[in-house]
Amino acid sequence: MNNMFQPWKMGTLEIKNRLVRSATVEGLSMDDGAPRQRLIDITQEIARGGAGLIIAGTAYISHEGRGDKNTTGMDNDKLIEPLSRLCGAVHTAGGILAAQLLHCGSTLNPEILPEKKALYGPSAMIDPVCGHPVVELSKDHILRIVDDYANAARRAKQAGFRAVQIHAAHGYLINQFLSASRNRRKDAYGGSLEHRALLLHQVYEAVRGTVGRDFPIFIKMSGYDGFPGGVEPDEAARVAASLDAMGLDAIEVSAGTPEGAKKGGWDHIIPSPFDEGSLVKYALKIKAKVRCPVISVEGWRTPLKIAKALEQIDAVSMSRPFIREPGLANRWLGGDLTPAHCISCNKCLDLIMGSGLGCIFNNRGEDKANSLSRP
């Protein structure tokens, strides 16, 4: 069990243990993208609870790329100061906070965000998830998005985040470019896997050029999209190897997409019951092709199974267990090795769309989640 609490390095950053809080949509920011005090308090509580690395919930790089209501923004310089309060609270509590940067692409029902004038993606189509028309991105628009990622990373660094994660999983824009199901382009951004990975490579290079070599950049990617026609495991491993050669500092490996769920495969939101450990094979496939650390996220709950996985990978990440138990890492460190209390009921997702991030089993007045449903 001791391997859960061994330090490891992500680039220049030393992390005290191998338990990572994976990012989730939190629904706890204001209309302008600034974090509410409740988000600051919750994140600080997770830091006090012992998680080695905390990845903050999805931060949109542009208003166009926003994917949900009340999510955190990284799209303008006015947000640097309020984001610095979030970073300061976490670091004061002994935690390490990374920002997750996102453009949601077209996987969004415009009814959630009525200001959406158009949904953008790699190719014109009817989006297979939300059912609305997708506008194909022009080359100039793609380059503006690359710049948006770089500027968002600059703001994250200035605010005090210790690393940035590029979200390239779960059917969002970068994942859409990687997927042959979504990307039907005939130019330099479509066709072969190398061409479909061009946007991701450009985003990485732009972010690296902005934050420098000593500031960790890592990625969240799908090791398998969950359906034929999406990103396949061999393709994910090839993309990971190319990024590793470019100097990427770590890879968090997830799997599944909403499109996969729509097409009879599976989504990335893991329900209960779930065979814990069954998706680590995708992380191991990528681990075999890279030198940088690999993090596995996939419904981890049991210390014995986590310790077994850590014999082959560098860290594991969890989100829902830390929502229910912010002090989970310290509980395990203290010798109480009973599984995480989270039962994967996914009512926390209902709360996100209503009152904001929380667990219905915690005494925070959030039991109204039973009457809510995620759009």
What single string gives the DSSP state of each residue in 140-182?
Answer: HHHHHHHHHHHHHHHHHHHHT-SEEEEEE-TTSHHHHHH-TTT
Q: State the span(s) of the chain assigned CATH 3.20.20.70.
A: 2-342
For residues 70-86, give the mean pLDDT: 97
Closest by alpha carbon to 83, among 152, 166, 167? 152
pLDDT at residue 348, as a whole number: 65
- Which of 27-31, 33-37, 369-373 has the lowest average pLDDT? 369-373
- What whole-number distance in Å separates Cα of residue 312 and Cα of residue 358? 32
Taking only the tens place, the pLDDT of each residue in 249-305 is: 999 999 988 888 777 666 666 665 567 888 899 999 999 999 999 999 988 999 999
Residue 199 in this model has a pLDDT that exceeds 90 = yes
CA 2 to chain centre: 27
pLDDT band for 166, please (50, 70, 90 cuts): very high
Q: 353 near 372, Cβ under 8 Å? A: yes
- pLDDT tens digits for range 37-67: 999 999 999 999 999 999 999 999 998 999 8
In eight-state DSSP terms, residue 316 is: E
Contact call for residues 324 and 362 (beta carbons, < 8 A):
yes
**Is 70 exceeded by the pLDDT of residue 350?**
no
* pLDDT level of residue 375 (50, 70, 90 thresholds): very low
Catalytic: 172? Answer: yes
Task: Find the catalytic residue in 172, 204, 224, 282.
Answer: 172
Beta bridge partners of residue 72, listed in sequence order? 59
Q: pTM of whole model > 0.85?
A: yes
Into which CATH architecture does domain 2-342 fall?
Answer: Alpha-Beta Barrel (3.20)
Q: Which of the four pLDDT bands, split at 50, 70 and 90, describes residue 364?
A: very low
